Amino acid sequence: MNTDLESGRTLAQALSDGLASDFAHEVVLFPPSPFLLAIQEIANGNSNIQVGSQDVYFEASGAYTGQISTSMVVSTGAQWNLVGHSERRHVFGETDEDTNKKVKVSLEAGLTPVLCVGEKLEEREAGQTEEVCLRQLRSGLEGLSSEEIAKTVVAYEPVWAIGTGKTATPEQADEVHRAIRADLVNLASQEIAAAYPILYGGSVNEGNVKELLAKADIDGALVGGASLVPDKFLAICNWDR
C-alpha cells in the first residue's frame, strides 16, 4: 500500500526510461489496483514491462465491496496477479483454500498467477520450512493439470525476511527452491519442473540480488521495498550488466 497516482506514474516511467534497449529480462510491476490502468499505459510503451494486480477475489462479481475481480484486472490490460502473498495470509487471514481458488480463477481469466509461499520465523526455527512451503505449494496448485501448472509462477518469500532487512542466505533460499522444483516434478512433470520459474522474495536489494540469482534454482526476484526507489529497482533489474 504505497505511492499515489502521481508518484506511481513517476516510478513506472523512471523504470521504463532506465531500461536499456537491449534489456533481456522480464519485469512485472504490481501497483495498487486503483493505478493499474495508469501504469499499464506506461508499460504499453516498453515491451520489457508488464503489469499485474496485487490480489484478486475468487468470485466473478457481486456483493463483495472492496474486492477486485479477475475480469476487472484483465480489462485494464494487466496480465499477472499475486496470489497468497504473506500479508494476505497472515494479516488478512486468507487460507490455503482461498489461495487455491484465486489461482484457478486467475488461470481461467488468462492471468498468470504468482503463487507466494513461505514460512514464519517460528516455523523455520522449528525445522518446518520445507513442510510449510510444500504444503502451501501443493494446496495452491491443487486440482490443476500439468498444463495449467506450467502457466503459473511460484515465489518463495520467507515471512521473517520481508521488510525486515533480513534475507535468507543464497544457500538457504536455493535449498527451498530446490525442494519446490523437486515437488513440481511430482505435481506436473520433469520437463515442466526444469523450466518452471521460481522467484525469491524477502529484502531483495541491489547488494544481494546478484548472489541470489547466481544460484541454480533461483530464477528471479519478487522485489519489495527496493522497488519503490527507481535507482535501486533499476540496479536490481540490471543485476547481470
Helical residues (DSSP H) of 19-95, grouped into ranges: 36-43, 70-75, 86-90
Residue at 7 is within a domain: no
Residue at 208 is within a domain: yes
Residue at 207 is within a domain: yes
Instruction: Supply the residues annotated as catalytic.
Output: 85, 157
Q: What is the pLDDT along the chain (241 residues), one digit of tens a residue?
A: 999 999 999 999 999 999 988 898 999 999 999 999 999 999 999 999 999 999 999 999 999 999 999 999 999 999 999 999 999 999 999 999 999 999 999 999 999 999 999 999 999 999 999 999 999 999 999 999 999 999 999 999 999 888 777 878 999 999 999 999 999 999 999 999 999 999 999 889 999 999 999 999 999 999 999 999 999 999 999 999 8
Residue at 2 is within a domain: no
CB contact at 8 A, 222 and 201: yes
Residue at 158 is within a domain: yes
**CATH code of residue 124:** 3.20.20.70
| pLDDT score for 161 | 86
CB contact at 8 A, 200 and 221: yes
Residue at 167 is within a domain: yes
* Boundaries of domain holding 71: 55-226
CB contact at 8 A, 139 and 99: yes
| pLDDT score for 117 | 98
Residue at 101 is within a domain: yes
Q: How many structural domains does the chain have?
A: 1
Q: How many CA atoms lie within 13 A of 100 on its CB side?
A: 13
| pLDDT score for 163 | 76
| pLDDT score for 103 | 98
| pLDDT score for 166 | 80
Residue at 96 is within a domain: yes
**Using CA atoms in the order 164, 81, 56, 93, what is the torsion angle rounded to 10 degrees?**
-30
